[in-house]
Amino acid sequence: MTVLGEAAKRPRLLVVDDERSNLALLTLTLRNEGYEVVACSNGVDAIARSMEQPPDLALLDIMMPGMDGFQVLDRMKERPETSRIPVIFLSGMEDLSSKLRGFSLGAVDYVTKPFHIEELRARVRIHLQLAQSRRAIVEEQSRKLETLVEAQRQLLRHPEELPQARFAVHFASREEVGGDLYDVVEPAAAIHGYFVADASGHDIGTSLVAAGARALLRQNASPVWSPEQTFSLANDALVTWIPPGKYLTAVYACLNRLTGHLSLVSAAHPPCLVLPRLGEPWLVELSGDVLGAFSGAHFGTRDIHLMPGDRVVLYSDGLVEDPDDGILWNAGLARLLEAARRVHDVPLADLPRLLAENLVGERNTDDVVVLAFEY
């Protein structure tokens, strides 16, 4: 779909040739076709003009004094603003090697001089159309992706939907196709399950894996199965359809509100944080294999007993890791405990956000999910 303003926009072409009659010929011919033409007589100007306002297509002479056409294309490919501009080479050089060199550098076409202007017009038109189609495809895919992400968000459980589960969550997704997710389920009256997972990668496959894992957890979270069995069932189903190279780390906490009994199971996920109402925060470190990589995986488990008012925090690694600063789990965990002491007395609803602000701040290097619940 094209909006009217877009359709009315004249395509902008950059033509680059050191020879004046060629430049005039190209400029006049293409202006007569209704294009906006920016004419440059050397490579340095061509780069500067294409950076100022990227054209929809560029026609580049190869043999020019100073920077030649190959070098201009090379420079354009280096920069994201100009790397997708379709480039047609123009040259009197008829040898195959210069044509092949142009194509290998990423040119879309080649016109040998002296050219027939009708051929030039046709090639310009077809490459503008191709670029437009490509843009339309990308926009369409991006729209589909947004729909998928929106659908995922719709599925997220909000604290007010299940107030008896007494939880709060902070969920920040850096990208449209993040791999972090959480869920809160109620397998039976007074039994609540809390789930946080992080799927590897940042692409559409990651989003699908995340969505699939949540669906499997919902299906398998039942009083019939222990949390570990729930993970095993989900794992064996995941390995049958998960794309190669994809997996999840995950943690699942199942709280029996009648007894205060908390069962934890982890698939290579960062430790859980326990904030006792009275006493120092501490970490529950659990080992275990990742989810979805192979069948028969083993998961780390731990049972603990909570007192009324005790809180537990599950989170994704974005909270404690900063690959840019080289901060990995171990250093991150020490900071997490410090931050936990600072937020000990805040209301539950504010706890996940404040923890994230304390630890991540503006850094925002990854998806982050922080889920806190209270017994």
- Helix ranges (H only) for the chain are 4-8, 20-32, 43-52, 69-78, 96-105, 117-155, 204-220, 227-241, 329-342, 351-359
**155 makes contact with other proteins (CB under 8 A):** no
Which region among 3-11, 15-23, 101-109, 306-314 touches other proteins (by CB under 8 A)? 15-23
Count interface residues toward other proteins (CB under 8 A).
18
> How many CA atoms are closer than 13 Å to the CA of 373, on its beta-carbon side?
30
**24 makes contact with other proteins (CB under 8 A):** yes
Q: Are strands 272-275 and 261-267 parallel, antiparallel or unpaired?
A: unpaired
Residue 89, phi then psi, degrees to nearest 5: -85, 145
Residue 168: strand pairing partners: 372
Q: Which is nearer to other proteins, 33 or 350 (CB)?
A: 33
Cis peptide before 114 (omega within 30 of 0): yes
**96 makes contact with other proteins (CB under 8 A):** no
Question: Considering only residues 227-286, where is the footprint of other proteins by CB under 8 A?
Answer: none
Q: Tell me the C-alpha to C-alpha distance, in Å, between residue 193 and each of 1, 189, 221, 344, 370.
A: 44, 11, 8, 23, 15
**186 makes contact with other proteins (CB under 8 A):** no
| Residue 22 Cβ vs other proteins, minimum distance, rounded to whole Å | 6
CA distance 4 to 292: 47
Which region among 13-21, 100-108, 146-154, 347-355 touches other proteins (by CB under 8 A)? 13-21
**298 makes contact with other proteins (CB under 8 A):** no
Q: Which residue has the tokens 């997708």?
A: 84
**113 makes contact with other proteins (CB under 8 A):** yes
Residue 198: strand pairing partners: 180, 249
| Residue 208 Cβ vs other proteins, minimum distance, rounded to whole Å | 53
Contact in structure between 72 and 137 (CB atoms under 8 Å): no
Residue 191, phi then psi, degrees to nearest 5: -120, 125
| Residue 48 Cβ vs other proteins, minimum distance, rounded to whole Å | 23
Question: Considering only residues 116-145, where is the footprint of other proteins by CB under 8 A?
Answer: 116-118
Which region among 19-27, 48-56, 298-306, 319-327 touches other proteins (by CB under 8 A)? 19-27
Q: Which is nearer to other proteins, 43 or 270 (CB)?
A: 43
**20 makes contact with other proteins (CB under 8 A):** yes
Which region among 52-60, 72-80, 109-117, 180-188 touches other proteins (by CB under 8 A)? 109-117
Residues 6+ apart with CB under 8 A from 331: none
| Residue 78 Cβ vs other proteins, minimum distance, rounded to whole Å | 26
Q: Which of 115, 171, 252, 315 touches other proteins by CB under 8 A?
A: 115
Contact in structure between 181 and 218 (CB atoms under 8 Å): no
Question: Considering only residues 38-67, where is the footprint of other proteins by CB under 8 A?
Answer: 63, 65
Site for other proteins, rule CB under 8 A: 18-22, 24-25, 28-29, 63, 65, 92, 113-118
